[in-house]
């Protein structure tokens, strides 16, 4: 089982890393194009042409914007890398879902889908494996995003429950066939329960509030 989970995790990490690198490359290409434009303006100034100061300000602002967006991408990449932590890690599901929606935004855009987070009003903490849980949600999201319908919206929600917490993936259509064998294996490793509710058009992932790892009780939800 451990080898299976590791292989599933590597595939997930690779998909997200590829998307992140593509985003960074796009922003770098824009910055490089703007640097070329700045060089052209400098050459014009050296030949005595008058340069519009407003144009230079807009160019500088655009470069700063691209740098800021790239910084956000790298920050998310860093958070994603640190999500690979031992099972039983106290995790705020609001933060986890926010990170996942940001990580998969480009992939969703390519598929013509919007993934939206409906955050809980307060923190929803459970002991879990952040990386494996994101992987589980991603597997369901990925299948849903690849449905023939375009322009549809997928909504992620979380809430506290008497058992611990639950995550909901709300769909525009039926959840049938969206939970793969890989997702089922991850759910089993996380001691989670997956319910496909066709009537409500959603997938519900129920997580325990207490788990044991290596015979030692995990930290209780805060």
**Side-by-side strand order, sheet with 153-160:** 114-118, 153-160, 164-170, 202-208, 193-197
Last residue of a domain, one of 64, 82, 100: 82
How many Cα atoms sit within 13 Å of 197 on the Cβ side?
14
**Angstrom distance (rounded) from CA 182 to CA 48:** 65
The set of residues, in sequence order, having a beta carbon less than 8 Å from that of 161 and lying 6+ positions away, is: 206
Range with the poorest average pLDDT among 2-6, 159-163, 217-221: 217-221
Give dist(CA 8, CA 188) in Å, integer: 13
Which CATH number goes with the domain that contains 145?
3.30.565.10
Domain final position from 82, 101, 122: 82
**Kindly report the CA angle at 130 between 6 and 19, in degrees rounded to 5?**
70
Confidence of residue 1 (pLDDT cuts 50, 70, 90): low
pLDDT digits (tens, 9 = 90+) for 184-203: 999 999 999 999 999 999 99
Co-location of 211 and 137 in the same domain: yes
Report the predicted TM-score, pTM, of the whole model to 2 decimal places: 0.84
50-75 pLDDT, tens digit each: 988 999 999 999 999 999 999 999 99
Q: What is the mean pLDDT of residues 23-39?
A: 95
Residues 137 and 155 in one domain: yes
* Residue 122 structural domain: 89-217
Q: Comparing C-alpha atoms, which of 29, 28, 54 is closest to residue 41?
A: 54
Q: What is the pLDDT of residues 66-118, one digit of tens each?
A: 999 999 999 999 999 999 877 788 899 999 999 999 999 999 999 999 999 99
Contact criterion met (CB below 8 Å) for 117 and 98: yes
């Amino acid at each position: 089982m451990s080898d299976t989970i590791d292989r599933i995790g590597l595939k997930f990490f690779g998909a997200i890393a590829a998307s992140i690198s593509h985003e960074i490359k796009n922003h770098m290409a824009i910055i490089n194009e703007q640097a070329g434009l700045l060089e052209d303006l400098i050459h014009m100034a050296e030949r005595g042409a008058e340069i519009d100061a407003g144009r230079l300000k807009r160019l500088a602002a655009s470069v700063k914007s691209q740098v800021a967006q790239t910084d956000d991408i790298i920050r998310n990449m860093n958070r994603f890398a640190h999500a690979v932590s031992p099972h039983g890690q106290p995790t705020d599901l609001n933060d986890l879902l926010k990170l996942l929606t940001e990580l998969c935004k480009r992939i969703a855009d390519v598929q013509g889908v919007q993934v939206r987070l409906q955050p809980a009003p307060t923190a929803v903490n459970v002991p879990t494996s952040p990386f494996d849980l994101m992987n589980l949600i991603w597997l369901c999201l990925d299948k849903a995003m690849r449905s023939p319908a375009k322009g549809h919206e997928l909504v992620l929600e979380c809430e506290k429950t008497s058992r611990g917490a639950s995550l909901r993936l709300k769909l525009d259509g039926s959840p049938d066939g969206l939970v793969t064998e890989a997702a089922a294996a991850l759910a089993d490793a996380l001691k989670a329960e997956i319910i496909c509710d066709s009537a409500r058009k959603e997938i519900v992932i129920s997580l325990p509030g207490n788990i044991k790892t290596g015979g030692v009780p995990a930290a209780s939800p805060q």
